[in-house]
Amino acid sequence: MSVFIHSGNRYFITFINRHSHNLVMKLLKMKDKAFTCTKEYLERAENKTGRQANFFRRY
């Protein structure tokens, strides 16, 4: 799904923690930034909880 926002972002990615039901949405200018954004999200989540993610699922 492509969306255009005034700041120049055309794409978005969402992360949902199934345990805490926490939702994070990030805006992306290019699709190739999705991997970097995912890696940063996982690192932030691990730092916040002190636990490593057991699995990561994408839809």
8-29 residue pLDDT tens: 889 999 999 888 888 999 999 9
For residues 18 and 39, the answer to whether their CB atoms sit within 8 Å is no
- What distance in Å separates the CA atoms of residue 3 and residue 18, rounded to the nearest whole number? 26
| Token representation of residue 11 | 């794409």
Q: What sections of 1-59 are H helices per DSSP? A: 34-49
pLDDT for position 13:
94
- What distance in Å separates the CA atoms of residue 30 and residue 47, rounded to the nearest whole number? 26
Which amino acid is present at 23?
L
pLDDT at residue 42 tops 80: yes
Tell me the three state secondary structure of residue 16. Answer: strand
pLDDT at residue 40 tops 80: yes
pLDDT for position 48:
87
